[in-house]
Structure 1
């Protein structure tokens, strides 16, 4: 992995961890104005940052395929989140950020491939 890609992924990773801490600290009984939208879109923005960093180092990969490999592995769909359920938004946000972090880790160890289902090469696929 190039030093530039590793540095960019490290920067994004640290920012993701900060956001996970902020989302985890939310109290669903005391919703904050706009927090539901935030938790559902912030991880997607980070996924786009990771995607662009990856494409910068791997221009042979398609942008759309790379983004889908990152966010396509989120087990909860945005449309499944009920507007009146704050805990579901927190769950979606944390799950989405976990997926972005998982992909960053896979990229660092050479196990990310946007062409395999889920984007991450599993140990049993070596």
Structure 2
């Protein structure tokens, strides 16, 4: 077993004696240890703060794009005033296809303040 620089690890076997499967999606591993019949992987959560890039207006829509984690799900929320306590969610969540994700909202309002939420 070996930890790779990208936070993933590989497992191999001698004479098919030990399992070689690594759970799908396992990442952000900072340390690994193993015994005859077990493996321990310590995972560090991402300290990722998404940042909205400059929104653009196109065809009556406000288009947002931001740096993203591929495969992760984001939710864009808004409220008409910063004095409001509750955020309203746009109708659909966004799964990032690659390192940039986008969302849009129809321009049919006077004021809106937006926040982006990275879902677990």
Using structure 2 for the length normalisation, give the TM-score. 0.21
Q: Larger strand proportion, structure 1 or 2?
A: 2
Q: Larger helix proportion, structure 1 or 2?
A: 1
- The one of the two structures with greater contact order (alpha-carbon pairs below 8 A, sep at least 6) is 1
